[in-house]
Amino acid sequence: MSNTKLYLYPVWLRIWHAINALCIILLGITGISMQYTNIESPLINFNSAVSIHNLVGVIIIASYLFFFIAGIISGNVKHYRLLFKGLLNRLFKQGEYYLFGYLKGEPKPFHITKEEKFNPLQKVSYVAAMYVLVPAVIITGVALLFPEMIIEKFYTMSGIRLTTFFHSLAGFFILIFLIIHLYVITIGKHPLKNFKSIVNGYHES
Amino acid sequence: MKIALPIKFVIICSFLFLIHQIVQAQDNEEKIKMPESNNVCLNCHGHKYFSFYNENTEINERKLMNPYFVIDSISYLQGAHQGHSCIDCHSEDYGVYPHIAELKIEPKLTCVDCHDFEAIATEVKKSVHMEAFGEFFQCELCHDPHSNKLVKSDMAELVRYNNNRCLNCHNDVDKYQVFTSHENPQLLVTHDWLPNQALHFAHVRCIECHTAVTDTADAVHHIVPKEQAVKNCNECHSENSLLRDKLYKHQLKEDRSEFNFYKSFIINDAYIIGANKNYYVNLISLLIFGLTFFGILTHTIFRIIKRK
């Protein structure tokens, strides 16, 4: 099969992706540092971790709003539309390919086109990350920036405590997503092929 | 829906039994009454205004009571000295009005005349208050004997009650300047470095940062100079949070189980970044992280093997 080059990632998307990735890494590191802070050996000084986390948090809100609006304007949002009919079957097929087929050198079950730039597993995980987890972490994060706005008690539990729980939970799964995302994109003809794509915008198959 | 007669009977009986239990419980509650002798004092000191017959002018006069001498009888009955008569501490001669002038400068009974507060006194002597004002600084300046009580059950109430002891002077220019000619400290300004100031003020006591940290509970009486107050966020916001030895000391003492710190912090109503982590949530998240890495490692190994 001849090598085909598809221009899938326009400049705005690549810039957003780079900013988003950097923000998530910084938020993850500062978040973990705050959560597991220790007076003798903090990963990052507590005050600095709080300041960086707050600042980067505000940046990621702007970045997300940009992604959301630009996605609608450019039509990129269509790649995040899930077709539920037969979804489980497609997910299973893609999962099976990653686990076994790829190792055996079998062909990809779903080929990337201009219309379908994500495989089913990518699509579901990106929808979960960008339209569930990131909004959840942003909403709870904004609330925690203005904690006096949070209801004092939810039944017997502190409202702030509950908000931080959901904030950390969403943040935790975003980090898990990031780790898996970073690994899965190394699956291909060459481990760095997909990294190259998100830099120059071209997908090579 | 029709309810069978025997079921109706059981429901009515249960309801009547419940009512009976509630009424009995209320009757059994020990009712603290104000000692009768106090009524003479509270007749005037229990109100903002007081009336008396002026024999010189032969008219009934109504005057404003000095607000610092008004005793809130409800707080008195809720306080530690609830059963006591006024004359247990104050001179019987106060029964006459106008009060005898000399009574004002007569030595009064102090807390240590009844209580053994030696350990506390040792700490108070090291306190910045004692250093500045000497023996003039007495227990009752912070612990009003007319209302002082031990709040343990409700953490928010405990914090509010404790902080009011400090704010009583530090947020009242008139009282503050009885002790010093300094201007009243602008608490909001001097604490403007503190993030989420209102939340900190509502959830931790002033003494968490303004007292020495030692193993003894009495150390909360050792108020340190402001330069030595805790200003490093990590002192509280860390696994070894100093709040363990202060605000949550009693709570932790009550729960001596293996995961007491986690458990206790689950039930309390505050959240302290870095300090109250949940043991089980931590364990589950570590497990998920571990499984993710294990999965990636296994896949990588198979990729390497298959490539060969």
pLDDT band at A105 (very low <50, low <70, confident <90, very high): confident
Specify which residues A6 forms β-bridges with: A203
Contacts of A99 in chain B (CB under 8 A): 299
Per-residue confidence band for B254, with pLDDT thresholds at 50, 70 and 90? low
Q: Which residue of A has its CA nearest to B155?
A: A158
Q: Do A37 and B234 touch (CB under 8 A)?
A: yes
Residues of B in contact with A46 (CB under 8 A): 233-234, 237-238, 274
CB contact under 8 A, B299 and A183: yes
CATH class belonging to A5-204: mainly alpha
Mean pLDDT across chain A: 92
Q: How many CB pairs under 8 A join A and B?
A: 77
pLDDT exceeds 80 at position B260: no
Q: Confidence band (pLDDT; 50, 70, 90) for A131?
A: very high
**Is the confidence at residue B1, as pLDDT, over 80?**
no
Instruction: Say whether A180 and B292 touch across the interface (CB within 8 A).
Output: yes
pLDDT confidence band for B144 (50 / 70 / 90): very high
Least confident of A133-147, B64-78, B99-113, B293-307: B99-113
Q: Report domain extents, chain B.
A: 1-31, 34-100
Asked if residue A1 has pLDDT above 50, the reply is no
Give the minimum alpha-carbon distance from B193 to chain A in angstroms, rounded to a whole number: 11
Q: Tokens representing B31?
A: 């009712």
Which uninterrupted H or E stretch holds A204?
strand A202-204
Please tell me which of the candidates B269, B289, B306 has its beta carbon nearest to residue A158: B269
Is the pLDDT at A134 greater than 90? The verdict is yes
Rounded mean pLDDT, A108-131: 93
Out of B239, B281, B303, whose CB is closest to A38? Answer: B239
Q: Residue A160: pLDDT above 60? A: yes
Residues of B with Cβ-Cβ distance to A158 under 8 angstroms:
268-271
Q: How confident is the model at residue B255 (pLDDT cuts 50, 70, 90)?
A: low
pLDDT higher than threshold 80 for residue A148: yes
On chain A, the residues whose CB falls within 8 A of the CB of B233 are 46-47, 50
Report ipTM (2 d.p.): 0.89
Q: Is the pLDDT of residue B258 over 60?
A: no
Mean pLDDT (chain B) is 84
Q: What are the residue ranges spanned by the domains of chain A?
A: 5-204
Whether B273 sits inside 8 A of A164 (CB atoms) is yes
Is A161 close to B303, i.e. CB distance below 8 A? no
Structure tokens at B286: 């570590």
Q: Which chain A positions have a beta carbon within 8 Å of B296's beta carbon?
A: 179-180, 183
Sign of the CA dihedral with B252 first, then B223, B158, and B87 last:
positive
Q: What is the per-residue pLDDT for B290? A: 97
* Yes or no, beta carbons of A176 and B235 under 8 Å apart: no
Pairing verdict, β A153-154 and A157-158: antiparallel
CB atoms within 10 A of CB B170: 16
A36 phi and psi angles, rounded to 5 deg = -110, 30
pLDDT tier at B281 (50, 70, 90 boundaries)?
A: confident
- Give the pLDDT of residue B65: 94
Does the beta-carbon distance from A176 to B306 stay under 8 Å?
no
**pLDDT for the residue A181:** 96
Q: What is the DSSP letter of A133?
A: I
Give the pLDDT score at B66. Answer: 93
Residues A123 and A82: their CA atoms lie apart, in Å, by 7
The residue in chain A having the minimum alpha-carbon distance to the alpha carbon of residue B235 is A39
Check residue A38 and give its pLDDT.
79
Read off the pLDDT of residues A39-81 as tens digits, 9 standing for 90 and up.
777 788 898 999 999 999 999 999 999 999 999 999 999 999 9
What's the pLDDT band for B156 if we cut at 50, 70, 90? confident
Percent of chain A with pLDDT over 90: 69
Average pLDDT of span A104-127: 92
Q: Say if CB A152 and CB A159 are below 8 A apart.
A: yes
Check pLDDT > 90 for residue B163: yes
